[in-house]
Amino acid sequence: MRRIGVLALQGSFIEHIATLKRLGVEPSAVKLPKDLVGLDGLIIPGGESTTIGKLATTYKLIEELKRLGEDGLPMWGTCAGMTLLAREIEGATPPHLGLMDIAVERNAFGWQVESFEADLVIPALDRVGSEEEKGKRFHAIFIRAPSIKRVGEGVEVLAALDEGIIVAARQGNLLATAFHPELTEDTRFHRYFLNMVGSGQNAA
């Protein structure tokens, strides 16, 4: 049985846990370094990136998370979680992991009242989709969302808005989405991450 952790310091970790349970996975809430032992993958949820970063520092998680990511543990950051994974953050820089070779702009689309939804073409999800799901757009929910301004060598762009703004990417064992798949009924992104976990740490 795969052991998937969800960083449970702040943000939408409850929704990720609920989605994983729907998929038959019993996730582990991660609050302290001891909760990371034996995990096969980790989700860093959306929320407030500065708050999550500060709490992760307070609870002595930052260095251990960074070590695990460098060692190949599959990690998926959604919204604020994407910011925490990024190597470079434009503007004010909260405590972060710096694992993924991307540059991120926080609150790239504005504040809470400027949240929006978009239907995205994401061919990579066909790897885990049923016949009925293949080719289906993914309904993405953006809430005070970041965007990816730059990707480095070895980073695969998974999704972009119509105007070309990158909102999902993967680099080996690292997955990042600017939106909140856990707030929808569509479980393909969670299945995609579980497939990453099951395929080996650095499977592309």
> Contacts by 68-72 with C-beta closer than 8 Å and gap 24+?
68/36, 68/39, 68/42, 69/97, 69/99, 69/173, 69/174, 70/99, 71/201, 72/172, 72/173, 72/201, 72/202
15, 16, 79, 105: the active-site residue: 79
16 is annotated as an active-site residue? no
Distance CA 89, CA 170 (A): 17
79 is annotated as an active-site residue? yes
182 is annotated as an active-site residue? yes
16, 96, 180, 190: the active-site residue: 180
16, 105, 182, 190: the active-site residue: 182
Instruction: List active site positions.
Output: 79, 180, 182
